[in-house]
Structure 1
Amino acid sequence: MTDAAVTRERATARPAPADAAGPGGRPSAPPAVRARRPALILLVPACLAALLALLPLGYLGVRALERGPAYAWDVVADARTLSLLGRSLGLALTVVALSLLIGVSLAWLTVRTDLPGARAWAVLATLPLAVPSYVAAFAWLSASRQLAGFTGAVLALTLVSFPYVYLPVAAVLRGIDAAQEEAARSLGLGPAAVFRRVTLPQLRPAAAGGALLVALYVLSDFGAVSLLRYDTFTRAIHTSYRASFDRTPAAALSVVLVLLTVALVAAEARTRGRAGHARTGSGTARPALPARLGPWRAPALAWCAAVAAVSVAFPLGTLGYWLTAGNSGSWEPGLLLDTALATLGVAAAGAVFTALLALPVGVLAARHHGRGARLLEQASYAGHALPGITVALALVFFAVRYAYPLYQELPLLVGAYAVLFLPVAVAATRAAVLQAPPVLEDVARSLGRSPLRVLREVTVPLAAPGVAAGTALTFVVIMKELPATLLLRPTGMDTLATRLWTETATGSFAAAAPYAAALILLAAIPSYLLGRHRA
């Protein structure tokens, strides 16, 4: 009998606690019903989060059908739309494949081998999160005009998005109990078979979740593809919005992008499967002994150094050049400081609000495998693949018609951040809860704890490190957000991203460089902490 079973047997032998009795001293609901109550507690806030994420879809429905279904269908069925679909999918799949290659390989090298300086390489592997895609695109474009187009877009987007794969995979590799792999080896399995049958099934949910975030990031990117002049859905939607007062074509293209997002989320859910990998026995997980690289040590070091050079050193070196050698325009330290403080304030507010919305959705996705939980999780991804300008216009439409006091106020901007980046926090929360043994929650319920107390005293404390990491990651991506911030920021407020874009749009690269450097520096701090925490 396992430790958990013994604990349950002893708990059921005790007299029922006072709060387990119903009116008149009668027993409360059966244990099976009591076990479902956490879902009821989480259901209301999770539904509110899903409704906020789905709000842009309501706007798209109104706009797309404004001139009738036939007109919208003509836009969707146009040959150019099919071309955009192929180009967007091709870019996303290529970046996902390269991000999986880089992220998984770096995670394995820094966590499971005797790689020299593994902790330093782990930190360097997270720092690309601090580099906005449009800054990376500008750095490569300034180095060679030949990189404009598909090649440059793949290069820039891969080098800023592979940490979305690296971080969750490294966390899972660090948490796998070495006893499971040792048991497999004792049964006669070789290293390759152990990896395929024991390690890989535990990595698959984290790798699939990271790949999904990369794909959604690529599909929603606007800055890099615009600078590199590669036509995708986001660039076409932005051009349509700017070129005409007729919003129907842009809304119809956005609907196609939403459907593509739903298909990707469904594919990720199927790849992830329903299995969990939390330990239920006694004791604590024992880390695996590092694998010896031997003659592969030099190639492994060269690989890590090459990734760090092209993803971190090169964009920083480009900015350093413009800071020292550029002469177009000037900048004011006071304005830079005010802009940096405003950026930190809105990013912190957006990250905390998004984390609070993601908590019930992530817990439901990890602990309940019913159709309702899956729908709520998938609904939370709705806004992430939409261009920021579409989400911003949807919230402007809502505020002007139904909540005018919120128009061009900070809460509306924070709400846009939550819609755009809720999947980042949900994925981190779900992964953290999956790592927490569910038997501890069962024991707490069997001892008479209410569902709310179980959530507050068991589930949240166990998942807190992962939730905090997700909040930090959300903070980083909010700092870099551009299109929604351009449209929704309160009057007179600028962030580092908007100032950087304004200066770049006028060709003042030297004047834009201080804002780009400040943005990377501020975003690098939580990225560095994420790397140290997971190293």
Structure 2
Amino acid sequence: MVVPLGYLGLRAFQADPQTVMDLVFRERNLHLLINTLKLSFGVLVVTTIIALPLAWLVTRTDMGHRRLLTILGVVPLAVPGYVMAYALIGIGGHYGITAQLFDWQLPRIQGYWGAVAGLSLYTFPYLFLNLRSALLGLDASLEESARSMGHSETAIFRRIILSQLMPSLMAGWLVIGLYALGDFGVVALMRYEVFSYAIFNQYSGAFDRIYAAWLSLMLLAIALVFVMSESVILRRRRLASTGRGVERHAPPHQLGKWRIPAWVFVSVVVLASLGLPVVILAYWLLMAPPPLSFFLEVPLVFARSAVAAMPAALLATAMALPVAYLAVRHPSRMANAVERSAYIGYAIPPLTLALALVFLALNTVTVLYQTLALLILGWALATVALAMGPLRSTLMQMRPSMEEAAHSLGHGPSSTFFNVVFPHLRKSILAALALVFLFCMKELPITFLLAPTGYTTLAVTVFSRTSEGMMAEAAPFAAAIMLFSGLSVALILNREGDRH
């Protein structure tokens, strides 16, 4: 994880002190900072407005078809950001779908609000999955005790439920915030200039790589503030119950008169996050159907993507599990430092991380250069933070007394972990695998730089063709990302069993 930092430092400090001062204190950097913070804050607000009510409805109410709604709440992860951005852009303007089909020209969606909408509509599942996992793990006795003491439902939600949800909220916010900081595809299409956009332009369109390195360090500093803020908020928080007895799950709340508004809310979320890209893709396919050979090529390209994505998901989860266990069960300054380092790969802009690994391969581990193993390593380093969220939330809710009892019965550390801890983590491990797998299937900048020559994934195919205006030619591959990733999520969630 520290290799990218070493690369950035090496590149940044090649300049003389006066040049460094000129680069760091450029007026343009303040503009980039303000835009970046505005974008991140806007995305966090919108994703919370979407994810929290949705997670509550599918876990704590008598709403029908909750398993189907859970799947629909996760499937937007399968929609690449650049496809979502193109879908939003394709609504308005002279050549937009409304103008072509209904002769009704809407303003073109772009700029700040376009970037916020594009990022929010496909990142809210990160928060939704964390909140859903936490809500399923809540002990109903906590709420029952509060009611017996005369607390209102509002007070119970604010003082007990939100308190229990805070680790999941912070884990989701951190992942989404870091994603918003490093995203390039959406902000580029929406023409909203932030640090990641400026970094890409410096790397691809200028010879001044030192300025790009300093921009990357500034962006990394912002990400570090996000990570440290989460650590400070959760430092003294303890969520596991201390009493004896069997945990109980709360009975579902009766929606009553709120049933219709709840269904309206869910319908709007599903139509915006899934219906919109599906309609746009169908529009491209029907208006100018590509040759049959394009459809025959889809399974081959998908298999090529999955061959690298699945090992990366397994590696990232395997890296995250011991780190999460160390941080939760054996807290210390060293454990906290190790846990924070897990977010480095996700905090660094993907293009910078990829270039750092190229630098490492060319100068140190030459056998990895231009190999699939390097791409898998790059994906894993970039996604350890995704796998950390569900694992850590579950570990924080587990009673330490369960492990202490196993030790008292003569079980060693390994036996205790595999017989007591691991069974409670299986669902969280599946969630972590799903998050990382879907991320890798649609990841773009790292794939561009690290994939072996001629190794074209679905993401590269979609972006390459859409960036050239070949919308219909890109549609089959974009649809494949959504379809196959959605099916994989549905299969994983189906194995959980019905806990509610």
> Which of the five TM-score ranges fits, normalised by the shorter chain?
over 0.9
Aligned residue type for 1:109: L
Partner of 1:525: 487
Is residue 2:191 matched to residue 1:229? yes
CA-CA distance at 1:381 after TM superposition: 0.7
Partner of 1:128: 76
Partner of 1:86: 34
2:349 to 363, 383, 387: 387
Partner of 2:21: 73
Partner of 1:181: 143
1:346 to 299, 308, 314: 308
**Which whole-Å deviations, capped at 9, do the CAs of 1:469-495 have from their partners, x for residues lacking one?**
111211111111000101110112110
CA-CA distance at 1:388 after TM superposition: 1.4
CA-CA distance at 1:385 after TM superposition: 2.3
Partner of 2:437: 475
Q: 1:522 to 1:274 in 2, by over 3 A?
A: farther
Q: Is contact 1:103-1:166 (8 Å) kept?
A: yes
Q: Is contact 2:75-2:482 (8 Å) kept?
A: no
Partner of 1:399: 361
Rg larger in 1 or in 2? 1
Distance 2:86 2:438 in 1: 20
Distance 1:126 1:371 in 2: 35
Partner of 1:154: 116
SS state of the match for residue 388, structure 2?
helix
Matches within 5 A, 1:343-492: 343-492=305-454
CA-CA distance at 1:193 after TM superposition: 1.5
CA-CA distance at 1:86 after TM superposition: 0.8
Matches within 5 A, 1:210-289: 210-289=172-251
Q: Is contact 2:379-2:440 (8 Å) kept?
A: yes
CA-CA distance at 1:69 after TM superposition: 4.0
Distance 1:183 1:332 in 2: 61
**Which whole-Å deviations, capped at 9, do the CAs of 1:449-479 have from their partners, x for residues lacking one?**
3323333333223212212211121111111
Q: Is contact 1:112-1:290 (8 Å) kept?
A: yes
What is the root-mean-square deviation in Å for CA atoms of aligned residues?
Answer: 1.7
SS state of the match for residue 237, structure 2?
coil
Greater shift, 254-263 or 439-448, is seen at: 439-448
Partner of 2:103: none
Distance 2:64 2:405 in 1: 43
Q: Is contact 2:71-2:493 (8 Å) kept?
A: yes
Give ranges in structure 1 of 5+ residues lacking alignment: 1-52
Distance 1:456 1:362 in 2: 15
Is residue 2:471 matched to residue 1:512? no
- Compute the TM-score of the two structures, normalised by the length of structure 2: 0.93
Q: Is contact 1:131-1:520 (8 Å) kept?
A: yes
Distance 2:384 2:312 in 1: 10
Aligned residue type for 2:76: P
Give ranges in structure 2 of 5+ residues lacking alignment: 94-107
Distance 1:68 1:447 in 2: 64
Distance 1:310 1:333 in 2: 26
Identical counterparts, % of pairs: 38
Q: Is contact 2:130-2:389 (8 Å) kept?
A: no
Greater shift, 458-467 or 234-243, is seen at: 458-467
Q: Is contact 1:432-1:467 (8 Å) kept?
A: no
Q: Is contact 2:36-2:181 (8 Å) kept?
A: yes
Aligned residue type for 2:450: L
Distance 1:429 1:110 in 2: 21
**Which whole-Å deviations, capped at 9, do the CAs of 1:17-75 have from their partners, x for residues lacking one?**
xxxxxxxxxxxxxxxxxxxxxxxxxxxxxxxxxxxx22111100000111134323322
Q: 1:144 to 1:531 in 2, by over 3 A?
A: farther
Is residue 2:208 matched to residue 1:208? no
Q: Is contact 2:78-2:482 (8 Å) kept?
A: yes
Distance 1:111 1:453 in 2: 33
Q: Is contact 1:432-1:465 (8 Å) kept?
A: no
Distance 2:427 2:69 in 1: 21
Distance 1:193 1:200 in 2: 10
Q: Is contact 1:436-1:463 (8 Å) kept?
A: no
- Compute the TM-score of the two structures, normalised by the length of structure 1: 0.87
Is residue 2:266 matched to residue 1:325? no
The higher-RCO structure (CA 8 Å, 6+ apart) is 1
Partner of 1:12: none
**Which whole-Å deviations, capped at 9, do the CAs of 1:128-160 have from their partners, x for residues lacking one?**
111111110010111124211111111111110
Greater shift, 60-69 or 340-349, is seen at: 60-69
